[in-house]
Structure 1
Amino acid sequence: MSWFIHKEDIAYISAGAKFLSSGGGGDTKIAAYLLLSAMEEDDVIEVKTAVEMADEWVVPVAAAGSTVLMKEDLPSGEEIAKALKEYESVSGRKADAVISMEIGGINALTPLLAAFKCRLPVIDGDGMGRSFPELEMVHFYHAEIPVVPLTACSKDETLVINEAKHVSRTLKEFMFQQDGYCHFACFGAAGSRMRAAMIPGTLKLALEIGKILAQNAAIWVKVQQLRHAFFQSVYGEMEIAFAGKIRAINRWFEEEMLVGALELAGQMEYHKQRAKLYFQNEFLSFQIPDACHCTTPDLIIFVHYETGLPVAVSELREGMMAMVLTVKAPGLYQTKKMLAQTGPEMFRIPNQFL
């Protein structure tokens, strides 16, 4: 049934969303700061679960672009509300609730800001179960929910897209012509249709993960609790894949993405092994030669060995002691259609990392 997010929950959701982002998704602290600045101590945001959804009109909302530029020129916090209001005006449909496009990273919190500003409930779920770089990788797209109308707002300008052709390219052009980022709304649908297209329970899971990570407890205690949290979710089992020290990192920018690889030298029970990880904004491939491997769309989560706190791709440093966790992606992303769109072939992962 319905539950409520309180101001003190924002930091937990921020940490949980970073954990679910597989190393990407943008800095969650930006949206957390905007929310905490806006909320009073007794303010709450209503969260509706999938079982409560019926005929209400649900609109996914998100931020897109460079969170590095977002840090340098912070949004006012009104952009996402403007994008949603513009969507209502263009579509002729009043939003009854909002939902996250992707639970990994900043876009776990973006709909909370929209919900708070517009006095709407937020749906407990999202369209990815993690973070991916492209609009076409959202499950709403493959559930054939129309992506248009799409409305986007920067600090000064508004974009309306009514034609589905080249929608991603048009959005990216707008984003880079403005501040390097924007906020947008699209994929609006009735609750009954959205319920079949979404990954349920991910907002509550992000909150639970954040609370586990905040504990003053040994990492092994946290890992056991994290395993239990995933066991009760729509995800598959969480596994410890490796523990070791970063031996080497190679990173570069390619097509506006941070791309690269790292090598881990095993420690403790892994001391005789080496592991490789490959990333394009998010971790996409993990491999222990002649032993095991994990690839997208499954989650590859890189955490500090002592604290269990997640590490973003941009935060990797040589000599860092870390643990690699893997989680089987939700069933919606295990279909042939979604594997074709979000699997290793789509990202052209080099053979040496497969």
Structure 2
Amino acid sequence: MGQAVCVQIGLADVPALERGVSLLGSGGGGDTVTATALLRGRLAAGHRTALTPVGELSGDARVVPIGVIGATAVFAEKLPSGAEFRAALAAIERWTGHRADALVSIEVGGLNGVVPLVVGGQLGLPVVDADLSGRGVPRLDQLSVAAAGKGLTPVVLAEPGGQVLVLAEGTSIEVERTARAFLAGSGGWAVLALAPIPASELPECAIPGTMSAALSLGRQALSADAEELAAATGGRVLGLGRVVEVSRRPGPGEHGRAGFARGSATVRDHRTQSLLRLEMENEYLFAMRDGEPVASTPDVLAVLDHRTGVPVLCDVIRRGVEVAVLQLPAAGFWTDPRRLQVLAPRAYGIDCDPVLLEVRR
């Protein structure tokens, strides 16, 4: 096997990167249009952007996980100035006493699959070809570092109004709750930075290769139809048809706190006339065909506009749209029995065992 090399990202690669991270968002992760516009701007101005393999870093290099959390629709309306990322990085460096040598995305699915490339260029830091999710995830306590037992604290949140919050201690669930309360009282979104991780520890608590894999997935998606894409990725097409019903409702809360919005979308499959129902929260989580479970998280469930191939997000899916529904294999990190339950249906209040693809990449 050849040694991994840095992957250069040019203007011509941006459409594929955007399509790949959108697919891995599993219907969530936020709109990538704004993030890719920022990346295009940097590349058009002559700045170089690359993905650095974990193995190219020295073992003691410190890698800071970074990303945007909160209401991504507000992110598009209230663009970052760049100061938020600098403030978050400076705060985590001061608190931990370690300088950042590189950055890694907290989530490859959605806009956080693109934003770190912009930030790395602005801050003069390499971006590691890895992330802490392998797909789209809704909660901080579901990041791979938490699933691997490292915990999240210390955590820094920097919002566009200038507030910077440091969470020094707390369980991963407590960090998630506190972060959501902070977002509700600030600008709706914030930059999150976690403590620097030695590069030698990344393979155990992150998911290597996911950024370049998103780029490759996007290239395949741009040159193939749904059936071809499923075959090329070890996935399968769950349904081809029209969305006939969409319902939305408040999600279940915990300890008196509101939950994420929940809902379902039903597709009538043109091939069999069966009904494919997708349960969704921030992402598509679970699929049933005529009442029988057929697919679930942590596999990626993607809904594509049948005409354009563009992924349809949970918050914009509507009746009447012709779609293809795909099931794509989860990263091996999440199919490990030690971590499977972190993203399994019951983690979202769906009382069913995981229904995963048998073929793995």
**Fold match (TM-score > 0.5):** yes
**TM-fit CA distance, 1:36:** 3.0
Structure-to-structure mapping, 1:48-197, within 5 angstroms: 48-53=52-57, 54-155=59-160, 156-165=162-171, 166-197=174-205
Pick closer, same or farther for the CA change 1:195–1:339 going to 2, 3 Å: closer
Query: Helix, strand or coil: the match of 1:294?
Result: strand
Partner of 1:201: 209
Pick closer, same or farther for the CA change 1:35–1:291 going to 2, 3 Å: same
Partner of 1:249: 246
Given that residues 230 and 237 in structure 2 are in contact (C-alpha distance below 8 angstroms), is that contact kept between their aligned partners in structure 1? no
Given that residues 7 and 44 in structure 1 are in contact (C-alpha distance below 8 angstroms), is that contact kept between their aligned partners in structure 2? no
Q: TM-score, normalised by structure 1?
A: 0.89
Query: Helix, strand or coil: the match of 1:318?
Result: coil
Given that residues 152 and 184 in structure 1 are in contact (C-alpha distance below 8 angstroms), is that contact kept between their aligned partners in structure 2? yes
**Cα distance between partner residues in 2 of 1:290 and 1:256:** 25
Query: What's the RMSD between the two structures over aligned residues?
Result: 2.2
Given that residues 219 and 306 in structure 1 are in contact (C-alpha distance below 8 angstroms), is that contact kept between their aligned partners in structure 2? no
From 8, 32, 36, give the equivalent of 2:36.
32
Counterpart residue type for residue 242 of structure 1:
G
**TM-fit CA distance, 1:17:** 0.7
**Cα distance between partner residues in 2 of 1:326 and 1:190:** 34
**TM-fit CA distance, 1:301:** 0.7
**Cα distance between partner residues in 1 of 2:205 and 2:348:** 23
Answering whether residue 225 of structure 2 is matched by residue 219 of structure 1, we say yes
**Cα distance between partner residues in 2 of 1:119 and 1:260:** 42
**Cα distance between partner residues in 1 of 2:300 and 2:151:** 27
**Deviation readout 1:200-242 (Å, 9 max, x if unpaired):** 2211122223333444xx625xx425643x3xxxxxx211111
Partner of 1:260: 263
From 7, 17, 24, give the equivalent of 1:20.
24
**Cα distance between partner residues in 1 of 2:87 and 2:13:** 25
**TM-fit CA distance, 1:78:** 3.0
**Cα distance between partner residues in 1 of 2:44 and 2:170:** 40
Counterpart residue type for residue 219 of structure 1:
D
Structure-to-structure mapping, 1:270-281, within 5 angstroms: 270=272, 272-281=273-282
- Structure 1: gaps (5+ residues): 231-236
Counterpart residue type for residue 284 of structure 2:
F
**TM-fit CA distance, 1:187:** 4.3
**TM-fit CA distance, 1:137:** 0.6
Number of residue equivalences: 340
Task: Decide which moves more: 156-165 or 73-82.
Answer: 73-82
**Cα distance between partner residues in 2 of 1:147 and 1:188:** 11
**Cα distance between partner residues in 2 of 1:22 and 1:338:** 19
Partner of 1:312: 313
Q: Percent identity?
A: 27
- Structure 2: gaps (5+ residues): 252-257, 356-361
